[in-house]
Amino acid sequence: MRTPALLLLVACGGGDAPRTSVDAAVDAVLSPRAQLIRLSLDLRGVRPTEAELTAVDADPAAYDGYVDAWLRDPRFGDQVEDLYNPVLRTRTANTYEDPAEAGIDAPSWEVAASVGSEPLKLIRHVVEQDRPFTEILTADYTLADPIVAAYWGLPHSGASAWEVVRYTDGRPAAGVFATNTLWHRYPSAGLNANRHRANQLSRMFLCDDYLSRPVTFTREALDGLTPEEASDAIHTNATCLSCHASLDPIAANFYGFWWEKGEGLAVNRSYAADDEGRWSEYFPSPPAYYGAPVSGLGELAADLAADPRFHRCTVQTVLGGLTQRDVDGEKDWEQVQALTDVFTESGFDFRALVAAIVKGDAYKAASFEDRTGERIPVVKTISPRQFSSYLVDKTGYAYTVDGADLLREPELGLVVLANGIDGEFITEPGYEPTVSSAFVIERVAQAAGYRVATIDLNRAEGTPAILLGDVAISDTPDTNAAAFEAQIRNIHLALVGVPLAADAPEVAERLELWRQVFSITSSPTSSWAAVLSATLRDPAVLFY
């Protein structure tokens, strides 16, 4: 049974969002407040302020204004990176080469975080600068912070921020395809002949993974095949050719990045134009892009940027990321096509695409008749990175060891345990709570709760509280019942974003929790830490 107070039935989609049969199948959308929470987490990684929530309560039409404003929020760039990391999978615990060779003296997690971010920062930059999204494949620059600059030997101002820089080794303009990080993440060895890289291009930007195609050899073909002939078969056997005819000419474009293991950083960070022609040692036919001859990597990237399949794939990626589901090019054809039209007609404006998605009813759905829930995100699950951002925003606390945020950096394994990805072994985020994610949230909430309670209850007079501004350390429910109730309500409002109803059972239950913990510990700090910890673990925090 739905709660009518939480629902707002709407008759049509809003603003410039294309309306499809999927939107029409939504029988109820979220309340304006819940819509804004979903939107804020997706566009800024944090929950809205109470002022923002109150504003949209008063005027639900203000939602569209927030879309436009938050697409310009500096934190939107983080979300762009997070949308594309599961595609590029470059944020790993891997540093690839020895940082000491580049004179870098930083913890390995920090090096891995910087190096892994290079192509993601490029994508972010294209979006933030309102460049056509196709520029992610054609840019003649990359992005670097001081670590990336030192690692890859790039000129850099020395400022701590990421900035636009250019490789100086004559590599072609090819956006993310010209970044060292991408090809260290996806190396290739002799027998593989860059096919791994070619397939990654197809998987990432055409949403077509060659490896997902089942291989079925006919008995006749196998009977006539000897192992010595296997290398020829990929050029003659019809089954083999179905992939290799298009894959190999793409692979032939990557020989400028043909690094051999053990050659050292100086070699393995340089593009070797002299090696571009080495494709002929491996393939009988020259570089091409699906039948169209190309002069090299730059032209390959330009052809890909102009390919309508890339434009559709971008829509699939963004729609899938924002709705936490696998978008199927066939099953979701109508929705994907409508959004692709918006994307194309906008001149490949990434923000316009996101706006079209988040303004649609399908994105705002609270209820959908399809019981599988596959096509509509009636509930979404907070990611480890979002939980980290949320926690810092609401409490100022980050769950760190030696400076590494355990909810962000994959090196210590917590990201994976919390249903995130490590980019190498776990490449698909999880959305269903698991035992390990329950433990992560429990421990993080516990630590954050203690910290907030300790600081707030011991703060100097006049110092603003993080969350416990209504009570003093000497208060008890018996001496100051009104303050306790107000405090519990205000904690819930601050952390969940929804006011507790006058008769909400949470008030009495959390008060009882406080009393029980106090009876065991005699510590107001522990008791408030328990209440804060329990509230941070509320499913209304973890789902949105």
Sites for another protein among residues 319-348 (CB under 8 A): 326
How many residues bind another protein (CB under 8 A)? The answer is 82
In the complex with another protein, the residue whose CB is nearer, 223 or 461, is 223
- Closest separation between CB of residue 409 and another protein, Å? 12
Please identify which residue in the block is written with the tokens 């990597």: 297
DSSP letter for each residue of 254-273: GGGG-PPTTS-HHHHTS--G
Q: Does residue 179 touch another protein according to CB under 8 A?
A: no
Site for another protein in 413-452 (CB under 8 A): 413-414, 416-417, 419, 426, 428, 430-440, 442-443, 446-447, 450-451
Rg from Cα positions in the chain: 26
CA–CA separation, 193 vs 324, rounded Å?
34
Is residue 83 part of the contact set for another protein (CB under 8 A)?
no
Strands (E), 54-195: 142-144, 163-165
Residue of the chain from 129, 160, 226, 522 that contacts another protein (CB under 8 A): 226
CB of 227 to another protein, least distance (A): 4
Shorter beta-carbon distance to another protein: residue 105 or 223? 223
Cβ–Cβ under 8 Å, residues 296 and 253: yes
Cβ 462 to another protein shortest distance, Å:
24
Tell me if 280 contacts another protein by CB under 8 A.
no
For another protein, the binding residue among 4, 103, 161, 212 (CB under 8 A) is: 212
Contact between 315 and 85 under an 8 Å Cβ cutoff? The reply is no
Which among 176, 94, 111, 97 has a CA at the least distance from the CA of 145?
Answer: 111
CB 118 within 8 A of CB 144: yes
Of 26-34, 171-179, 226-234, 285-293, which segment contacts another protein by CB under 8 A? 226-234
From 17-25, 33-41, 131-139, 225-233, give the range in contact with another protein by CB under 8 A. 225-233
DSSP state, residue 544: -
65 binds another protein (CB under 8 A): no
Kindly indicate which of the ranges 10-18, 121-129, 216-224, 309-317 contains the residues binding another protein, using the contact rule CB under 8 A: 216-224
CB of residue 102 to another protein, shortest distance in Å? 27
478 binds another protein (CB under 8 A): no
Q: Of the listed pieces 139-147, 263-271, 296-304, 519-527, which binds another protein according to CB under 8 A?
A: 519-527
Which tokens is 294 given? 């190309």
Q: Confirm or reject binding of residue 509 to another protein (CB under 8 A).
A: yes
- Residues 351 to 410: which contact another protein by CB under 8 A? 367-368, 370-374, 376-379, 381, 397, 399-403
Distance CA(315)–CA(179), nearest Å, equals: 23
Bridge partners of 7, per DSSP, are: 30
Interface residue with another protein among 219, 460, 464, 502 (CB under 8 A) is 219
Between 194 and 526, name the residue whose CB sits nearer to another protein: 526
Is residue 31 a contact residue for another protein (CB under 8 A)? no
Give whichever of 294 and 445 is closer to another protein, judged by the CB atom: 445
357 or 542: CB nearest another protein: 542
Residues 544 and 541: their CA atoms lie apart, in Å, by: 7
Spatial neighbors of 110 by CB under 8 A, at least 6 apart, are 147, 403, 404
Strand runs labelled E in 363-482: 365-368, 400-401, 404-405
Backbone angles phi, psi at 144, to 5 degrees: -145, 145
| DSSP code per residue over 2-60 | --GGGEE--SS--TTPPP-HHHHTEEEEE-HHHHHHHHHHHHHSSPPPHHHHHHHHH-T
